[in-house]
């Protein structure tokens, strides 16, 4: 790990070109965002080194209410995890907002030095916030909720607007060897939810930034990961404000 994650953005990025595209489309995908060795370290942490029980299976609705549940990824919770998944699927089939995927929670102790805790600190560093402010031409001073997300076969996130989570959403892709037929793609929709305006296939070490109009948000969803998919859809995601 570099010195507490300093100077980890790829130096070859043309921020002026990115700013032009973001101004035009209010969404941009930045390829090769991090220095290669840093992206590889992030991938290795979440896919191999981080204890499996640090993942929480998050689903919505939970217990008949429109709120999320978090169930620790342990063998003894297998039955409850399946129950929560079945409830999410039933809610989705009835046209309601629903999701199911694995994620991390900000429940580490204050002096934890694990890779994720360093990522959280970096996201509010001057290097990160100055870059984000430069390419969006807006002043961002903090992050909102941030977490790692892992999608396995059957996992999904139905259409939603992310309001009021902040005014800029981000998805750092740590997914390797992904194919479009695997599903798990990020879809952006128009305000009427009748047209898909843009689809992003997960590509390793790419950063997607998308504007969320205040008190309105932007409709988007992650399609279900196909049965039998041999890879995992792995991201670090959240919002800036």
Q: What is the pLDDT of residues 212-230, one digit of tens each?
A: 998 899 999 999 999 999 9
- pLDDT, average across residues 5-9: 90
Alpha-carbon span 65 to 241, nearest angstrom: 28
Instruction: Name the band, by pLDDT with cuts 50, 70 and 90, for residue 137.
Output: very high
Instruction: Name the band, by pLDDT with cuts 50, 70 and 90, for residue 4.
Output: low
Alpha-carbon span 147 to 35, nearest angstrom: 20
H/E element, 42: helix 36-44
pTM, two decimals, is 0.94
CATH 2.60.120.620 spans which residues of the chain? 15-53+115-240
Q: What is the pLDDT of residues 69-127, one digit of tens each?
A: 999 999 999 999 999 999 999 999 999 999 999 999 999 999 999 999 999 999 999 99
Q: What is the pLDDT of residues 27-51, one digit of tens each?
A: 999 999 999 999 999 999 999 999 9
The second-level CATH assignment, the architecture, of 15-53+115-240 is Sandwich (2.60)
Burial of 232 (0-12, 13-18, 19+ CB in 10 A): buried
Pairing of strands 69-72, 143-151: unpaired
The predicted pLDDT at position 3 comes to: 52
The predicted pLDDT at position 68 comes to: 86
Mutual orientation of helices 126-136 and 15-25 as an angle, nearest 10°?
Answer: 50
Question: pLDDT averaged over the chain?
Answer: 95
Decide: 230 and 155 in contact? Cβ < 8 Å. no
Q: What is the dihedral angle through the alpha carbons of 220, 98, 101, 4, rounded to the nearest 10 degrees? A: 50
């Amino acid at each position: 790990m570099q010195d507490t994650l300093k100077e980890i953005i790829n130096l070859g990025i043309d921020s002026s070109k990115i700013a032009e595209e973001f101004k035009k489309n209010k969404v941009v995908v930045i390829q090769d965002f991090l220095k290669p060795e840093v992206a590889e370290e992030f991938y290795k942490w979440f896919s191999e080194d981080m204890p499996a029980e640090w993942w929480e299976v998050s689903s919505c609705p939970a217990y008949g209410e429109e709120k999320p549940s978090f169930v620790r990824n342990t063998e003894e919770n297998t039955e409850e995890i399946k129950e929560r998944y079945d409830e999410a699927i039933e809610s989705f089939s009835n046209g309601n907002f629903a999701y199911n995927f694995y994620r991390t929670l900000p429940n580490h102790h204050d002096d934890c030095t694990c890779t994720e805790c360093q990522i959280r600190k970096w996201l509010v560093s001057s290097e990160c916030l100055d870059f984000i402010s430069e390419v969006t031409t807006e002043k961002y001073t903090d992050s909102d909720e941030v977490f790692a997300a892992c999608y396995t076969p059957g996992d999904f996130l139905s259409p939603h607007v992310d309001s009021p989570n902040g005014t800029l959403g981000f998805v750092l892709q740590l997914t390797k060897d992904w194919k479009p037929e695997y599903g798990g793609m990020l879809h952006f929709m128009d305000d009427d939810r009748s047209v898909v305006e843009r689809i992003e296939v997960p590509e390793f070490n790419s950063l997607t930034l998308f504007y969320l109009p205040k008190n309105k948000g932007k409709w988007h969803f992650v399609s279900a990961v196909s049965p039998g998919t041999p890879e995992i859809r792995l991201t670090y995601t959240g919002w800036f404000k």
